[in-house]
Amino acid sequence: MREKRRKFTPEFKSEAVRLVVDTSRPIAEIAREIGVHEGTLGNWVNQHRGPYSQGSGRNCGRGLILRNKAVSRRGIDLVESACHA
């Protein structure tokens, strides 16, 4: 038998995101404390930060991300990603 999908109130989600944003603690650590999967909490944080937030990767092309990583490996510092333009 399948487990029922848990539903969280907007207030719970907001407080969980606040813990991540205000304390700068790792998402995984906070997720364990509050009993949610770290991917779920990560999704809530990404939604809070918006579509162009650093690290979301959704609105940047995969090729751009891979190219930036390759450039970084060669020792060239990247000042700004195209995602933030």
Q: Is residue 60 assigned to a domain?
A: no
CA distance linking residue 44 with residue 9, whole number of Å: 12
What is the pLDDT at residue 76? 52
Q: Is the pLDDT of residue 63 over 70?
A: no
Q: Is the pLDDT of residue 12 over 90?
A: yes
Domain, as residue range, for 17 = 8-49
Q: How far is CA 57 from the centre of its chain?
A: 9
Q: Is residue 83 assigned to a domain?
A: no
The mean pLDDT value for 65-73 works out to: 55
String of DSSP letters for 37-63:
-HHHHHHHHHHHH-TT-TT--SSS-HH
Q: Is residue 69 assigned to a domain?
A: no
Give the chain's domain count: 1
30-60 residue pLDDT tens: 999 999 999 999 999 999 988 766 554 444 4
Q: Is residue 62 assigned to a domain?
A: no
Q: Is residue 54 assigned to a domain?
A: no
Confidence of residue 2 (pLDDT cuts 50, 70, 90): confident
